Structure formats: structure tokens, C-alpha cells
Amino acid sequence: MDTFNELINGDKPVLVDFFATWCGPCHMQSPILEQVKQRIGDAATIIKIDVDKNPQLAGQYQIRGVPTLMIFKNGAVKWRQSGVFPANELERLLKENI
């Protein structure tokens, strides 16, 4: 939990993918996140949070459905969306926050 808080409070944007192993759309989102990571490199951090293994974190951010994607920077939520999201849009959103 400390490392999560340290990450989201940094000045580098962090894309958090709240997912579940049993979630079909979450499996579709994974390769999209890989693409985004390859495109933006170290300019942003991408982490995945399993809601079943981290229920208090999911509760803290009121995650009602998976996948839910959130972008944090300096501890603030800059963007949030549920459902599968395309790589181009995620890349654009992250670059806006760099």
C-alpha cells in the first residue's frame, strides 16, 4: 500500500488499471496497456491492481466495475473511466499529464 501511495504522489503520471482475473474485458485491456507502455516508455508508470487481492484499495477509490482505469499525478485523480479503453486515447491522456 505504501508503494502505491508513493507512486501516485509522484510528479510522473501513473495509469492504474483496476482489474479482476475473472473479467473478460480486463483481459482485452492488458495488451492495450502493453502497447501504451511501449509507446510512452518511462514518461509514465502503468500499474495493475487486482481488486480481489486489494479490496480496501478498490473500496477507497469506489471501484464498482472492472476494468476501471485511473490516471494519478501528484496524488490527484486526473482522469477516470470504466471499461476497455483504446491505446491511442490512453497515450494522449498520459501525455497531457506529463
Active site residue 5: no
Q: Which of 4, 7, 10, 23 is catalytic?
A: 23
Would residue 33 be called left, alpha or beta, if left means φ above 0 and alpha means ψ between -120 and 50 degrees? alpha
| pLDDT recorded at residue 2 | 64
Rounded to two decimals, the pTM is 0.95
Give per-residue pLDDT as tens, 40-96: 999 999 999 999 999 999 999 999 999 999 999 999 999 999 999 999 999 999 999
Q: Which of 8, 20, 26, 58 is catalytic?
A: 26
Cα 68 to Cα 2, 42, 65: the distances in Å are 21, 22, 6
Active site residue 23: yes
pLDDT of 1 strictly over 90 = no
2-96 belongs to CATH 3.40.30.10: yes
